Amino acid sequence: MTQAAIPDAPLIYTYRDLLDDGDYSEPLIANGVRCHGGFLADGSYRSPRTIHRTPAIDAWQQALRANDDDLIELSHDLLPPQYPNVEQSVLLCRNGVRDPVVRALTIISVVEGFGAIIRDVIVPDLDALLVEPTEGSSLAHLSEGLFEAHARDEAGWGDQGGHKQMWEAARDLAFESPEIPPDVLMRIMGRGRRARKRERRHPRIHEKLESMIGMMANVLIVEIFAEEVFGWGKAVLSNPEISAAPEAAAAMVGYIQTDEKPHVEYLRTALSEIAARTIRAEDGATLSGRDVVHATLHATLSQVLRNRPREQRSQARAGLDAALAGAAKPEALREEFESLETKWTPPECTGFEPATQGAVAPE
Ligand SMILES: [Fe+2]
Ligand SMILES: [Fe+2]
């Protein structure tokens, strides 16, 4: 039997509850743009749409624990370093070469805006596709506010900016509204066009359930990897040597980072809830939710760990030569830049290896 406490917050919320901001004493204004979230009377920042969403996620997690079910954990040791790293970015900016850092910040803001696609994920009839009921779980709230709140946080909503606008504000504060490399958007769009329809990994389960699990695993990984981006953003933008607004720009990244917490938490809760259940296969048999969720996480993580550092490097290096050419001593600067590169090799295990391979999960 379990010792975990029974959740003290309710387990069932309305769509309105999960999108509710509550009251703020002061709104968040990012470089003149009204953004989501705001400040309480004591000056602390509270993320948008979290007055009920945060206690709700806590309660669903407590319910999992009370049932002795695992909450999925992704090891932070897996995170690849940001490219260019903090030292490389500061070096370039100190030498008047800001283009690669402005480029990196712009890519981050655009990718944040893409996060709104989470609202297009189709949630199939989970009570038909899972053996155990979903009432009172985060799964029952995915299309009842959780995906929508997430989408609004990333891309903004109505007259309020979201993470896209907040990253732009951080960039523009630190670098005083720099010129944006004109090819940034084209390159990102080109990358999107190459994305192909994924092969089905679990053809026995309902296609929409498989695709929802795949999308959630992918977004969860992106959200966790963002930790590295926040550390980098704060370190670079708070450096008074190169930033025109070290406090305001780094604080902005801190607010975004705070807002990401509920994203990571509801996604890992919902995936854990599927992992704790039994999936009805299309052929009438049943499959372990854990096997499906872990296999999806393993495959997605392996792929991201292989591709992401390479992609980020090639995006950052686009235009690097042209940018360096503007420096006083381009060759010496390039040499120093290369010498500061972080050495990194992808970890051998993801922590979600199929049991049959006998792989050992990292701590
Ligand atoms: Fe975000
Ligand atoms: Fe997010």
**Span 61-87, mean pLDDT?**
93
Q: Is the pLDDT of residue 316 over 70?
A: yes
**pTM over cut 0.75:** yes
For residues 269-298, average pLDDT: 97
| Closest ligand to the CA of 149 | 2
pLDDT in tens, 25-51: 999 999 899 999 999 999 999 999 999
Which of 34-38, 56-60, 108-112, 194-198 has the weakest average pLDDT?
A: 194-198
Which ligand has the nearest atom to the CA of 164? 1
Asked whether the predicted pLDDT for residue 2 surpasses 50, the reply is: no
Does residue 135 surpass a pLDDT of 90? yes
Percentage of the residues of the chain whose pLDDT score is greater than 70: 94
Ligand 1 centroid, distance to 32 Cα (angstroms) = 20
CA 180 to ligand 2 centroid distance, Å: 23
Mean pLDDT throughout 259-286? 97
Confidence of residue 315 (pLDDT cuts 50, 70, 90): confident
Q: Give a three-class secondary structure readout of the chain.
A: CCCCCCCCCCCCCCHHHHHCCCCCCEEEEECCEEEEEEECCCCCEECCCCCCHHHHHHHHHHHHHHCCCCCCCCCHHHCCCCCCCHHHHHHHHHCCCCHHHHHHHHHHHHHHHHHHHHHHCCCCCHHHHECCCCCCCHHHHHHHHHHHHHHHHHHCECCEECHHHHHHHHHHHHHCCCCCCCCHHHHHHHHHHHCCCCCCCCCCCCHHHHHHHHHHHHHHHHHHHHHHHHHHHHHHHCCCCCCCCHHHHHHHHHHHHHHHHHHHHHHHHHHHHHHCCEEECCCCCEEEHHHHHHHHHHHHHHHHHHHHHHHHHHHHHCCHHHHHHCCCCHHHHHHHHHHCCCCCCCCCCCCCCCHHHCCCCCC
pLDDT band at 362; cut points 50, 70, 90: very low
User: How far apart are the CA of 87 and the centre of ligand 1, in A?
Assistant: 24
